[in-house]
Amino acid sequence: MTTRADTPDNARDASTLSRRGGGLLIKRTVGALVAGLLLAATAFVPAHADGGVLAWPKDTVYVVDQSNTRWPVERAAENLDNNSPLELIRVTSCPAKGAQCIYVRTKNIPGAGIGTTVYAHRGVDLASATVYLDSSYQGSSYHNRLALTTHELGHAVGLSHQGIGSIMNPYVSSKTRSTPSSADYARLNRAY
């Protein structure tokens, strides 16, 4: 299976991982402020129009796991924070109003989609993020579910697509790593 992705760099963002023709396609679309205007761009790190890298203002981010037990959300969060300044804490509800929370939910994604990450930002600071994992994909192998969950959480902390060897690689197969590479951690260390 192959996955391809395009990465946006604008105020409102949606990332969709989908199946197509025996492979997977990650399609990232950006909804601009003008209704109906969509653009797609390839970038190494999500950036605001002024060139700043998107990141959460503080290093502690809560991962509100509202998925079901088939999704390895806690392990995916550990994958991202193990060798980085980020502290991703899995919780079942956001601990306080205004806390930095990433919501992880399952839903039926129409069509061929299997994962979507949507986030908003103020300037270069991430303000909110929600990851949606397609409930019909929960029967996939643990490796594929972990890779998908880690990849989508990577988008939720400001990472965008990279090349071969990265968890953020837009081309994913059963041989693709399910944990971040040293280059992924270096990007997190620069952002945080």
- pLDDT, tens digit (0-9, with 9 covering 90-100), for 10-45: 333 334 443 333 333 223 322 221 222 222 222 233
Rounded CA gap, 14 and 28, in Å? 6
- Helix (H) / strand (E) element for 46: namely none
Would you state the pLDDT for residue 115? 86
pLDDT at 56 over 90: yes
Coil/strand/helix, residue 95: coil
Query: Which class does domain 12-183 fall in?
Result: alpha beta
Q: Which among 174, 178, 151, 173 has a CA at the least distance from the CA of 162?
A: 151
Would you state the pLDDT for residue 157? 96
Would you state the pLDDT for residue 171? 64
Would you state the pLDDT for residue 109? 87
pLDDT at 73 over 80: yes
Query: Considering the chain, what percentage of its residues have pLDDT values greater than 70?
Result: 71
pTM above 0.95, yes or no: no
Q: Which residue has the higher pLDDT, 2 or 174?
A: 174
Would you state the pLDDT for residue 20? 31
Coil/strand/helix, residue 151: helix
